[in-house]
Chains A and B, each alone.
Chain A
Amino acid sequence: MRQILLVAVPLVGAIVAAFWRGDRTRPWLLPVVGAAHLALSFWLLVQPPVVAREAWMGFDAVARAVLPAVSLLFFACSMYAVTYLRLRSERSNRVFVAVLLAVLGLLSAGHQARHLGVLWIATEAVTLAAVPLLHFNGTPRAFEATWKYLLVGGTGIALSLLGSFCLGYASMHGGGSGDLTFVALSAQGAALSRPWVLIAWVLLLAGYGTKMGLAPMHTWKPDAYGEAPGIVGAILAGGVTTVAFTALLRVRAVVGAAGAGAIADRTLLAIGLFSMVVAALFLLGTRNYKRMLAYSSVEHMGILSIGASLGPAGVFAALFHVWSNGLTKGALFLSSANIRRAANSASIDEVRGMAVLTPRSAMIFVAGLFAVTASPPFGPFFSELLVLRAALGTGHYVAVVIFLACLLFAFFGLSRVVFAVVDGRPRPATVASARRFVETAGAVAPPALLLGLSLWLGLFTPDVLRESWTAAAAQLFPTP
C-alpha cells in the first residue's frame, strides 16, 4: 500500500497542481508533496515492506537502497523551487509544478519496477515528462536543447525497448511462460538463450546508458543541463539518471543469472572508464559552468557503472555513490543557479568575482567543488574510496590508474572553472545584474542543506543505509 502511495501521492499532487488556481500559491504544493513523499520513503526505508515475489512493482531492496535519496534531493529542490518560481513570476508555473510532481511519481514508479516492461514504460514516461521542464525558459536555445534531448534520448529509449524485447525473446527461447518480471527471468537462469541475452544486454546498456548519460551517448546532457533551470538539472542528474542506473543493475542481475555476468561487467567497466575519460577531457576545456556540471555528471555516471562492474562490494560502493553524488550535485546545481541568476550568464568569460556579489552561494559552490572532487570528509570521498578499494580488491590495477588520472584531470577542469567564477574583480555588467538578485534564505538554505547532508552522509553514514545497500547488493548477487 505505502509503496503505491509513493507513486500515487505525487501523481495526484500533479493533477491538483494542474487545476490549482493562483500562481503564487501553487509552488507550495511542491514542498508539501515532497515532504509527504520524503516521509513515506524514509518510513519504508526504516520499515521495509514485504514484497510479493512475483509483484510487478514493489519497494524491494534495490528501490529501498536508492529511492530515499531521490526523495531527499527532490524535497530540497522543491523548497528551492518556491523561491525560484517567485523570481520567475513573469511566466505561469502551472505546467512546471504539475510536471515536476509527475516526474517524482514516475521516478518512484521506475525505481520500484520489478518488471521489464513496466520498467521501460516508467523510464520512457519520465523522459517524456521532463520535456516541458527543459524548455521552461522558452528561449530558442532551450528548444534546441529539448529537441536534442528528445531525439537522442528517444533513440536510447527505443534501443532499450528493443533490448527488452530481445530479453523477452531470450526467455521465450528458453521456454519461458512470458512472465517478464526480473525474478522470473533470473529464475530461468541458464535456460535463457545466451545469444539473445547478450544482444539484449548490449541494447539495454546502450539504451539506458543514454538515459544515464554514459559516453558516447551523453551528448544531450550538457545542452539540457545548460539550458534548463537549476532545479531541473539537479533532479535530472540526481533522480532521473538513477532510474536508468537501477534499471541497469536489475538487468545486470538477470544477465548474471544467465551466466554472462563476466561479459556484462567487462562492458560496464569499459563504458564507465570511457565516460570518465571523455568527461575529464571535456571538463579540461569547458568554459561554461553549467555545462561543466553536466560533464561532471557524466564522470560520476562513469564511476557508478565502474562500481556496478565490481561485484557486490562495488555495487555497495556504487549505491553509496548514488546518494553522495546526488546530494552533492544538487548543492552544486542550486548554488550555480543562484550565481547564474545573479550574473545573468553562465560563461566564465563573462562571470568573475562572484565571491563579492553572491558570497554565500559562492562559498557553497567552492565547498561543493571540493565535495564533488572527492575531497574528504564529504560523501563522494567515501563512496569513491570504496569503489577504489573494490577495484583494487578485484585486481583491476590498470582501471584504477585510469580512474585516478581522470579524477585528477576532472579536478583540474572543475577547479579552474569554479575559481574563475568565484575569484577576481566582477565586471560592471555583472555588478549591475547582481543588484536585482538577493541571496534570500530560500535561495541559499536548500543547497547548504544538501551540502550538509553530503557531509553528514560521509562522516556518519547511518547503519540503516549501509544495511539497505548491503541488502540490495545481496539481492542483485544472490548467493546460491
Chain B
Amino acid sequence: MMIVVSFLARLAWWLLLAPLLPGIINKVKAWVAGRRGPPVLQLYYDLARLWQKQVVMSTLASPAFIVGPAVAWVAVLGATTMVPLGPAGATLSFRGDVVLMLYLLALARFATTWAAMETGSAFEGMGAAREVSYAVLAEAAMIAAMLTLAVQTGSVSLATMLAPSVGTSAVLLAAGLFTVLLVENCRVPFDDPATHLELTMIHEVMVLDHSGPPLAVILHGASLKLLLFAVLLTQSVLPMGTYSPAVAAAVLVAGVLAVTVGVGAVESLMARFAFRRVPLLLTTSVLLCVFALLVAWQGAA
C-alpha cells in the first residue's frame, strides 16, 4: 500500500511538475526583458488544447511518425523512475541503473529523430542531424559525470550515487552537467526555442510537422527531460544525504527552481552560439566532467 502511494506520489511529481519549468523559464526571461510574459502555467494550457486538436500528418510519414513521440515520452518517463527524489528515493534502483537511464534518454532521442526524418523535410533532417551529432559529445560528458559520481561514492546505482555529500569536484561537475543540461534540452546557447528561423533550430525544427496530441506528448516529454536533468544536477552537487528528509525535500525543490531560473537567466543574458562554436563548448563540458572525475579520484583516495 505504502509502496503504491509513494510510487504515485513520485509519478505525480514528475508528470505534473514538469510543465511548470518552461513556464518559469519564460517568466524569468520576460522579467529580465521587463515584459509581463506568458503565465507560468502556459504550457499546461497548451497541452490541454493540443490534446483536443486534430492530427495533421505528412503524406510521406509512416505510423512511426505518430508512435515515435509516444515511445520517446515513455522512454523519458522510464528514465525518471530511476532518478531518486531526495527523501522519496527512486521507484527503480539496482546496480547499473545509471546506464539504463542514459540509454533510455538515448532511446527517446532515437524516437524523436526517427519521427523527424519521417516527413522527408530538409529542415527536420537538419534538426535531427544536429541533435544526434551534438549528443555524441553530450553522451561522453554524461558518462564522465556518472563515472565521477561512481568514483566518489563507490556505487553504481543512481539512488546511492546521488545521496551522500559531494566531494571537491562539485563545482566542476555542476558546470559540466549544467552545460549538458542546456544542450540535451536544446536551450540557449545551443538552440533557441523561441526563434522563428528554422535554419538555426535543433529541437523545435524537428517537430515542425507534428501537431495535436503527438505534439503535446513531445512538449511534455521535453519538459520532463528538463526536470530530470535539473533534479539530477541538484542532487549530484548538493549533499542531499546529510539533510533530514524535510530539509532535503525543500532543498531539492529549491535546487530545481534555482536551476530553472539559471537556465532562464542564461537565455536572457546570452545569445545563441554560431553552430561551429558549439562543439567547442561541448568539448569544454566534456573536459569539465573529466577534470571532475580526476579531482574526485584524488579526493576519494
Q: Do chains A and B touch in the complex (CB under 8 A)?
A: no
Which residues of chain A have a CB within 8 Å of any CB of chain B?
A: none
